[in-house]
Structure 1
Amino acid sequence: MSIRLALAAALAGCLTAAAGFAYGVHVGTAQEQAAQKRADDVREAERARLQAQIDASAQQHQAAEYARQGAVREIYHESQKVIERPVYRTVCVDAAGVGLLDRAAATANGEPVANAAGNAATPADGPAQPRR
């Protein structure tokens, strides 16, 4: 009978240890969840504070914009413009003119200007005629 008693005591000890382990896991889990909830609450409070600042700033900006729009009066004038000469022509530019345009484009683009102080290689006989 003492073997049965020893086995029963060992089994009771094992069950007590398993129950204690399960209880400890439960308590530890509850503590971790509580710590996580506290951290989440702190983050949510900070987010709400920052959102309130953003909302207040947006309202101030909107009020300032309404005040500015009330003080500014936009006037639109329409005028009729008559162009007497055409902007685009069908006449081409001669070689010297092309060189001037190339140098102007290079200067505007910040590129080094080649032949800055020279003449065109061969002067044209006259303005180029449009193709027909």
Structure 2
Amino acid sequence: MALEKQQSANLSTGRAAGKTRYRVCSVQDVPEGGRLIVTVKNMELGIFHTGGQWYAWRNVCPHAAAPVCEGVVCGTRLPSMVYEYEYGRDREVLRCPWHGWEFDLLTGKHLADESGMKLRGFEVEIDGGEVYVLT
């Protein structure tokens, strides 16, 4: 899958719960399983469409500030018995391109760390075939 970048988001006139809504793309710009890197308020965000749901994550890895949203979307090894290697969670894991840190694409949580480190997420709304991010 090719990684696409879009210059910047358009401010929408609507507000939801005190947040500003930015139009980032049309739904057809990001097919199922796809992603798009956009800029909102001088922040790069990764817009992901997976499992029929939409997610927006800040494009900064909490480990070393890498462009995490440019990493591979894949699965991971699941907890298993010694010498048994079970693969799962296909298309639900975002792997940082610099050091391989793995994050749950659906929640932003770091998979191997109990410290609570996670990606910074933003609410996504779909309205009239357009994708909006709330900040």
Report the TM-score, using the length of structure 2 for normalisation.
0.15
**Is the helix fraction higher in 1 or 2?**
1
Report the TM-score, using the length of structure 1 for normalisation.
0.15
